[in-house]
A and B are shown apart, each in its own frame.
Chain A
Amino acid sequence: MQAELAAEPGILQFAWVIVVLPMASFALIVFFGKRMPWKGVEFGVLAVGAGLVLSLQVLWHFVQGGGPYEKGLTWAPVGPFTLEIGQYVDGLTAVMFVLVCTVSLCVQVYSIGYMHGDTRYTWFFAALSLFTGSMLNLVVANNLFQLLVGWELVGICSYLLIGHWWEEKINSDAAIKAFITTKTGDVPFLFGIFTLVFATGTSNIARISEAAEMGHISHGLLVVAALLLFGGAIGKSAQFPLHVWLPDAMQGPTPVSALIHAATMVVAGVYLVGRMFAVFSPAGSAMAFVSTIAGITMLIAALLAMVQDDIKRVLAYSTVSQLAYMIAGLSLGERGYTPGLFHMFTHGFFKALMFLAAGSVIHAVHSSNMSEMGGLRKSMPVTFWTFMIGGGALAGIPPLAGFWSKDEIITMAFKTGHYGLWVVTMLTAVVTAFYMTRAMLLTFFGEYRGHGHPHESPAVMTVPLVVLAAGSAVVGFLGAPQLSAVFADWVHFGPVEHEPFSYGFAAISVLGAGLGLYAGYSLYTRWTEREPLRALGPGYALLENKYYLDDIYLRGIVRPIQYRLSAAVSWFDRTLIDGIVNGVAKLTQGVSGGVHGFDLTVIDGAVNGIAQTAGFTGGILRYIQSGNVQRYAAFLFAGVVIMAIIITRI
Chain B
Amino acid sequence: MVLVLARETLIVNDLHKIYEDGTYAVRGVSFRVREGEVYGLIGPNGAGKTTTLRMITGLIKPTRGEIFVDGINVVKKPFEARRLIGYLPEEADVYIRLTGYEHLEFYAKLYGVEDIEKTVEYGAKLSGLPEEKLRERAGGYSKGMKRRLLLAIVLMRRPKLALLDEPTSGLDVYASVRVREIIKKYVRETGSSIVLSSHNMLEVEYLCDRVGIIYSGKIIIEDTPENIMEKYGVENLEEAFIKIVEEEK
Mutual binders A and B: no
